Amino acid sequence: MNPLLQLQQQGQSVWLDFIRRSLIESGRLEQMVEEDGLRGLTSNPQIFMKAITGGEEYHRQIRELVSSSPELPIKELYEAIVLADIRAAADVLRPVFDRTEGADGFVSLEVSPDLAYDTSGTIDEARRLWKSVDRPNLMIKVPATNEGIPAIESLLAEGININITLMFSIHHYEAVAQAYLRSLDQRDDPRHTSSVASFFVSRITAAVDQALDAVGAEEAKALKGKIAVANAKVTYQRFREIFHSEAFQERKRAGARVQRVLWGSTSTKNPDYSDVLYVEELIGPETVNTMPPATLDAFREHGKVRGATLLEDVDQAERQLGQLAELGIDLDPITEQLQRDGVKKFKEPFDKLFEALEDMRKTFERRE
C-alpha cells in the first residue's frame, strides 16, 4: 500500500509544500489527490519566486498583463499571477474540502513578509487576500511573531482560516494555541473556521547540531540529529493536553475544530540523516505533514509507517531536551533566532521576485 495513504490511516493529513501552474494544468495535482490521498497545499514567497522565475510558463500571462495595463504596480502584477494559481489549486482541492466537511482540502497563501512585525498591516492584508481569492478552502499564512499573534486572534475571530507559520518552540506553540482558543470564544458559531499551527523542524536540527559540534563532547555528539524530533514530540504532547481537555471538549460540542499541528520544513538538510526522517518520526492523529515534492516522492517510494511515532519515547524526548540544557545549550534563543531568520528567508525571495517581475515587464514592454 502507498505509505502516503497509510499516514491517513494514522489520522495524519499529507499536504504538498509546493505550487506551480504546470502542476495544476497538467492534472498532476489532481492525480496526487486521487492516488496519494493529498489533502492540502502550502505555498510561500520562495516557492513562488522559483516557480515564476524558473521557466517561461508564466510569460504569457505577464505579457498580457503588461500589454493591457502598462502602469500596473508590481505588487498587483504579482498578485494577479499568484492568486490565479491559488484559486486554481483551491478548486482542485475543493472536493476534499467538501467531502471532509471543511476539515481538510486547504491551500495556503502567505501575507507579505514585510508585515511580519505589523499587526494592523497583517490584518488588513489578510482580509484583502481572503476576499480577493474568494475560496472557502483558503488559509492565510501569518507568522507567529509577537506582532502576528494578535492578528491571528483577530482574523480567526472574524472567521478567516489561518495557517500560523514560523513556529520553532513550545513557547511559540503555546502563544498560538491560546490565541486560537481566545478567538473561538469570540464567535457565536465556530463551525466554519479552520486553523493549523505550523511547527518547523529541520531548521532546528541544523542550528542545534552546529551548537553541539561547538561543545564537542561525546554527550553532545550523541544528541546530534535528535533535538528537532524531541522538540516536536514535546510540543505535540502540549497540543494533546490543550485539545483533549474538558475545557476544549465544551468548545468542540459547540462546533469548534481542533487546531491541528502541521509539521513544516520536513525536508532533511543533512545527507547523513534519513531523507524521510521528519515524516517517519512525526506521525500522529490530528496532525498534518506538508512535504516538498522530493520528500513526498521519497516517502512514497521507501517510507515506513510503524504507527503513531509522535507518541513513542516521549520521556526520552524530554530527557534529550534536558541533556541539551545541561550541556549549556539554551534552545530558546536558538528558536527565537530561527524565527527571525525565517522572516528574512521569506522576505528575500519576495523582494527578488518583485525585482524579477520588474525586469520581465521592461523586457515585454520593449518587445511591444
Across 248-282, b (16+ Cβ under 10 Å) vs e yields: beebeeeebbbbbbbbbbbbbeeeebbbbbbbbbb
| pLDDT of 368 | 57
Return the C-alpha cell found at 35: 492516488
pLDDT 10s digits, 248-306: 999 999 999 999 999 999 999 999 999 999 999 999 999 999 999 999 999 999 999 99
* Among 83, 7, 24, 14, CA closest to 264: 14
Annotated active-site residue 141? The verdict is yes
Q: Let me know if residue 77 belongs to a domain.
A: yes
Q: What is the pLDDT, as a whole number, of residue 52?
A: 93
Question: Could you tell me if 222 and 324 are in contact, meaning their C-beta atoms sit under 8 angstroms apart?
Answer: no
d(CA 114, CA 348): 10
Assigned domain for 348 exists: yes
Name which of 157, 21, 158, 151 is nearest 81 in CA terms: 21
Contact 94, 149 (CB under 8 A): no
Residues of the chain above pLDDT 90, percent? 92
The answer to whether 310 touches 12, Cβ cutoff 8 Å, is no
Q: Is residue 88 part of a domain?
A: yes
| Domain tally, the chain | 1
The tens-digit pLDDT sequence of the chain (368 residues) is 899 999 999 999 999 999 999 999 999 999 999 999 999 999 999 999 999 998 889 999 999 998 888 888 999 999 999 999 999 999 999 999 999 999 999 999 999 999 999 999 999 999 999 999 999 999 999 999 999 999 999 999 999 999 999 999 999 999 999 999 999 999 989 988 899 999 999 999 999 999 999 998 999 999 999 999 999 999 999 999 999 999 999 999 999 999 999 999 999 999 999 999 999 999 999 999 999 999 999 999 999 999 999 999 999 999 999 999 999 999 999 999 999 999 999 999 999 999 999 988 888 777 65
Rounded CA-CA distance 211/217 in Å is 11
* Structural domain contains residue 222: yes
Phi–psi pair at 328, nearest 5 degrees? 90, 15
**At CA 164, angle to CA 49 and CA 289, rounded to 5?**
75
For residue 336, is it within any domain? yes
User: Residue 1: its pLDDT value, please?
Assistant: 87
Cα–Cα distance, 354 to 360 (Å, whole number): 10
Q: Is 366 contained in some domain?
A: no
- Over residues 160-190, the pLDDT tens digits come to 999 999 999 999 999 999 999 999 999 989 9
DSSP H helical segments within the chain, as ranges? 3-9, 21-25, 28-36, 45-53, 59-68, 74-99, 119-133, 148-157, 170-184, 202-215, 218-223, 227-243, 246-253, 277-280, 293-302, 314-326, 331-367
Asked if residue 367 is part of any domain, the answer here is no
Cell of 353: 521576485
Kindly state the cell numbers that stand for 67. Answer: 500589454
The catalytic position among 141, 252, 352, 362 is 141
Give which of 99, 169, 163 is closest to 130, Cα–Cα.
163
User: Any idea which residue has 476576499 for its cell?
Assistant: 131
Residue 368 in any domain: the answer is no
Residues 352 and 368: their CA atoms lie apart, in Å, by: 25
Tell me the three state secondary structure of residue 34: helix
Which amino acid is it at 80? Answer: A
Q: Which three cell numbers stand for residue 227?
A: 533535538
Q: CA-CA distances (angstroms) from residue 132 to 70, 86, 104?
A: 22, 11, 21
For 238-274, the DSSP string reads HHHHHHTSHHHHHHHHTTPPP-EEEEE--S---TTS-
The whole-number pLDDT of residue 102 equals 95
Can you tell me the distance from the alpha carbon of 323 to that of 317, in angstroms, rounded to the nearest whole number? 10
Pairwise CA distance, residues 238 & 231, whole Å: 11
Residue-range definition of the domain harbouring residue 331: 3-360
In whole angstroms, what is the distance from residue 34 CA to residue 36 CA? Answer: 6
- Say what the pLDDT of residue 367 is: 65
Neighbours of 48 (CB within 10 A): 23
CATH (domain of 277): 3.20.20.70
Evaluate whether 54 touches 35 at the Cβ level (below 8 Å).
no
Residue type, 345: K
